[in-house]
Amino acid sequence: MYIKNNRIADIVPEVTEWRRWLHRHPELLFDLPETARFVAARLREIGVDEIHENVAETGVVAIINGATDGPSIGLRADMDALPIEEISGVEHASETPGNMHACGHDGHSAMLLGAAKVLAETRNFAGKAVLIFQPAEEGGVGAKAMMDSGLFGRLGLNEIYGMHNMPNMAVGEFGLCDGPTLAATDFFYIDIEGVGGHASQPHKCVDPLAAANAIYNGFQSIITRNTDPAKNGLISITAMQAGEANNVIPLTASIKGTVRNLHEDTRDIIERRMHEIVDGVAKSHGVKAVLQYERLCPVTVNHSDQVARAAEAAVKVVGEEKVDREQPARLGGEDFSYMLQEHPGAIIFIGNGDSAGLHHPEYDFNDEAIPYGIAYWAKLVEDRLPLAQ
């Protein structure tokens, strides 16, 4: 199988060093000066044909020309880390207090650099491999900023592919699904203002906590009573803040959370009902309550043909029994959704083994996955951009 390719085995130690360097130097959102510099420096050493830097602030896009002309295929990795204090205890742990690569984007970037090295050497394809290193996947919708830069339109991308590691999937396994794959991801913020006062005189106050409680409970009925049970989503309230003392009714309360779903019409229903409930509670409780609803990224929808092509490439790397073509959709979010709205493509998951979960302070990308990721990218390019026989 393709994974036994000697050239890939040869470069794994170097790519592992790159991965660990990136892990030691986590940076957030669009603010990736060291990361982008590192990625661009490796691409220059590798000898790619074109490098575009500072795309959407710190994004890097490299082009490798195949042996002959042909279409272009985009391969996307994300580069940003998370504001989490690492407790993995690994030797290559974060050197920046408070930040860590807890989603494995260090691994994604390193594997794509490894693929660049293989593709720049072999050039065993007809067309252009466009390697996309994007900033701000974690809540900054960097993918949309990359699209808005207009670069991919100018390059005339024919297809685009993404890859994300997945804890608790065995190393050497791949999985994906057709259609909705990851959820639309929205954030919401609610500010409630009542009338504070002495806890012994609730009749002279307007209690924002009682209103917050009513909103919390009201939201639970949206998923059970308003949305199609076959197209459900979720509302998670993740923060409620109000008050400090035992004997004071506070003036204000605030609520935060996230909404996820796999269907855009469900998303519309949830947003509308949340507004109605907040406005209704404000009226019935006599508080001021304002809901701010922020749509971060749409549903990530894989395209059928590209799912089939991605699965074929993965099968060539690891064999039929290690590729799950019908993985259930997940309620995590991905801004790669914006790229899939403009170009046909698919995101595939690659096993990270028995690791801590994504966004967990003990998480670490599994270096054992590196050869599989490199092999998949290289095979996909050779398959999608075949040389004339």
Q: How far is the CB of 80 from Zn ion (least distance, A)?
A: 9
Cα–Cα distance, 133 to 5 (Å, whole number): 25
The helix-helix angle for 370-384 and 105-122 (nearest 10°) equals 50
Which residue do the tokens 């360097």 mark?
21
Between 138 and 382, CB nearer to Zn ion? 138
Cα–Cα distance, 346 to 336 (Å, whole number): 9
x/- track of binding to Zn ion for residues 236-255 (CB under 5 A) = --------------------
Q: How far is the CB of 333 from Zn ion (least distance, A)?
A: 9
SS (H, E, C) 226-290: HCCHHHCEEEEEEEEEECCCCCEECCEEEEEEEEEECCHHHHHHHHHHHHHHHHHHHHHHCCEEE
Question: Is 70:124 a contact under the CB 8 Å cutoff?
Answer: no
Binders of Zn ion among 92-111, rule CB under 5 A? 103
x/- track of binding to Zn ion for residues 272-311 (CB under 5 A) = ----------------------------------------
Q: Which residue's CB comes closest to Zn ion?
A: 103
Cα–Cα distance, 160 to 130 (Å, whole number): 9
CA angle 179, 181, 184 (to 5 degrees): 105
Between 103 and 307, CB nearer to Zn ion? 103
Between 84 and 274, CB nearer to Zn ion? 84
Between 16 and 109, CB nearer to Zn ion? 109
Q: How far is the CB of 332 from Zn ion (least distance, A)?
A: 7
Q: How far is the CB of 387 from Zn ion (least distance, A)?
A: 34
Q: How far is the CB of 311 from Zn ion (least distance, A)?
A: 21
Q: How far is the CB of 297 from Zn ion (least distance, A)?
A: 12
Comparing C-alpha atoms, which of 214, 11, 221 is closest to residue 121?
A: 11
Query: Is residue 348 part of the contact set for Zn ion (CB under 5 A)?
Result: no
* Other CB atoms within 10 Å distance of the CB of residue 321: 8
Between 175 and 208, CB nearer to Zn ion? 175
Between 32 and 103, CB nearer to Zn ion? 103
- Contacts with Zn ion by CB under 5 A: the residue count is 1
- Contact positions vs Zn ion (CB under 5 A): 103
